[in-house]
Amino acid sequence: DIQMTQSPSSLSASVGDRVIITCRASQSISSYVNWYQQTPGKAPKLLIYAASILQSGVPSRFSGSGSGTHFTLTISSVQPDDFATYYCQQNYRNPLSFGQGTKLDIK
């Protein structure tokens, strides 16, 4: 099975900060990575698919990059609605798997 490891597990930021979340895969998975945002009590929401493609309706301050085993999610200027937990997911091979999550909170 493919393991996805996110870092950091949590981070604090202020509105306007640039934030980068990293996800590493246990083996090469090309660009088969998606990123989701989850706020408390809500279902996850797709932000980025295929490592770098912005899902329709998602603000352009979100961006993704990477291939192989190393991937990043960047928020260029954090806004109040962005304080949430973020998950990477590999869809290269079943069983599909998620990272453990990165909680972004207000500094």
Partner 1 sequence: QVRLVQSGAEVKKPGSSVKVSCKTSGDTFTSYSVSWVRQAPGQGLEWMGGITPILDRTDYAQKFRGRITVSADESSSTAYMELSNLRSEDTAMYYCARGSGIRINDAFDMWGQGTSVTVSS
Residues that bind partner 1 (CB under 8 A): 1, 32, 34, 36, 38, 43-46, 49-50, 55, 87, 89, 91-101
Nearer to partner 1 among residue 15 and residue 53 (C-beta):
53
Q: How far is the CB of 81 from partner 1 (least distance, A)?
A: 18
3-state class of 82 per DSSP?
A: helix
CA 104 to chain centre: 11
Residue 74, Cβ density class (10 Å: 0-12 exposed, 13-18 middle, ≥19 buried): middle
Shortest CB 50 distance to partner 1, Å = 8
**35 Cβ contact list (under 8 Å, min separation 6):** 23, 46, 47, 48, 49, 62, 64, 73, 86, 87, 88, 89
**Closer residue to partner 1 (CB): 17 or 97:** 97
Closer CB to partner 1, residue 55 or residue 72? 55
Minimal distance in Å, beta carbon 1 to partner 1?
8
